[in-house]
Amino acid sequence: MDWPSLTQLRFLAVGGFPYGTLGGLTMNLIIVALALVAGFVIGLLLGLGRLSERFLICRPCAAYVELIRATPLVMVLFWFYFLIPNVLGARIGLFWTSTIAMTVYVSAYLAEVVRAGMLALPTGQPEAAYSIGLTHVQVLLYVTLPQALKMMIPAFVSTFISLFKESPALLMIGVAELMDTGYSIATLHLKLIPATFLIVGATFFVICFALSRVSLRLERKLNPDRRAVPLDPELQLDMVAGAGGGARRVGAGTR
């Protein structure tokens, strides 16, 4: 089996970085990380908004979340890809286009994570806080949100994994991410097909596998009694890992 040269390996890792545009694995990680951070802010607002009792706040948030969750990532990418330069006339480059699209996409999923986390809190917590005379904002900032956020940490890691696994879709709008660089190498040097696919696949596997173990460990550490964060099965991202982990532990106890 022929193996890629060092230059080609560097191309997989950072694209043409020092001389050309950034790409490869670094591109995936940077875009996913930026989208997750920005998406967290939007998702937090959306998730809290969806829990609001005011019709005018709750319904638009719910509509946004449901709309994005019923749309493939590719469509969101295309939409922003065509909207920003053609319709709005702004030139911001592929990197920012894809970061914005990924942010919009992931914020809907993070909103669901936030909502599930808030709903998982025992109702006694806000009740106790209200009864000692705290205001709405104080209850949220000092009582419910800190507890809920702590329990949501494993779900954030899972969301990172899922978004990372969906990030190869970026190649559809021409971002030179890991899968795309691997594909270019493989099509230019047909002998390198097996090795390139092996390296790209192994990279994805190692990162996702390691992070999923981290997520599982965090979940065990943060919620030892497993009462917390019953992840909404509709979250469909990687939430099965949460449900499966629970079932596995139940099985281990009774077998």
Partner 1 sequence: MGTMIREWLGISYEFNWGIMFQEPYFDWFLTGLKYTLLLTAVTTVTSIVLGVVVGVMRSSENAWLRRVAGWYIETFRNIPGMFWLFFFYFAFPVFLPEPWSQALNPYRHFAFVAAVLGLTFDNSSYVAEIVRAGIQGLAVGQTEAGRSIGLTDWQRYRYVILPQAIRIVVPPLGTRCIHNLKNTSLALVIGVPELTWTVRQVESITFRGFEMTTLVTAVYVALCLTMAAGVNWMEGRFARRDELKLAQ
* Phi/psi at 177 (5° precision): -90, -175
188 binds partner 1 (CB under 8 A): no
Q: Which residue has the tokens 């050309």?
A: 20
Among residues 82, 92, 122, 188, which is the contact residue for partner 1, using CB under 8 A?
82
DSSP 162-205: HHHHHGGGGGGGT--BHHHHHHHHHHH-GGGHHHHHHHHHHHHH
Choices 37-45, 122-130, 139-147, 190-198; region in contact with partner 1 by CB under 8 A: 190-198
Does 90 engage in binding with partner 1 (CB under 8 A)?
Answer: no
The answer to the question of residue 200 lying near partner 1 (CB under 8 A) is yes
When binding is defined by CB under 8 A, the residue of 33, 38, 57, 74 that contacts partner 1 is: 74
Q: Does 72 bind partner 1 (CB under 8 A)?
A: yes
Q: Is residue 109 part of the contact set for partner 1 (CB under 8 A)? A: no
**Shortest distance, CB of residue 35 to partner 1, whole angstroms?**
16
Question: Of 121, 109, 113, 112, nearest to 146 (Cα)?
Answer: 121
Give the list of residues 6+ apart from residue 147 with CB closer than 8 angstroms, or none. 121, 125
Minimum CB distance to partner 1 smaller for 21 or for 71:
71
Scanning 8-16, 115-123, 133-141, 239-247 for contacts with partner 1 by CB under 8 A, the matching segment is: 239-247
The CA distance from 111 to 95, in Å, is 24
Comparing C-alpha atoms, which of 176, 199, 230, 206 is closest to residue 16? 176
Nearest residue to 115 (alpha-carbon basis) of 63, 49, 71, 60: 49
Question: Binding of partner 1 at residue 83 (CB under 8 A)?
Answer: yes
Residues at the contact surface with partner 1, assessed by CB under 8 A: 67, 69-75, 78-79, 81-83, 86-89, 165-169, 171-172, 179, 182-183, 186-187, 193-194, 197, 200-201, 204-205, 208-209, 212, 233-236, 239-241, 243-244, 246-248, 250-251, 254-255
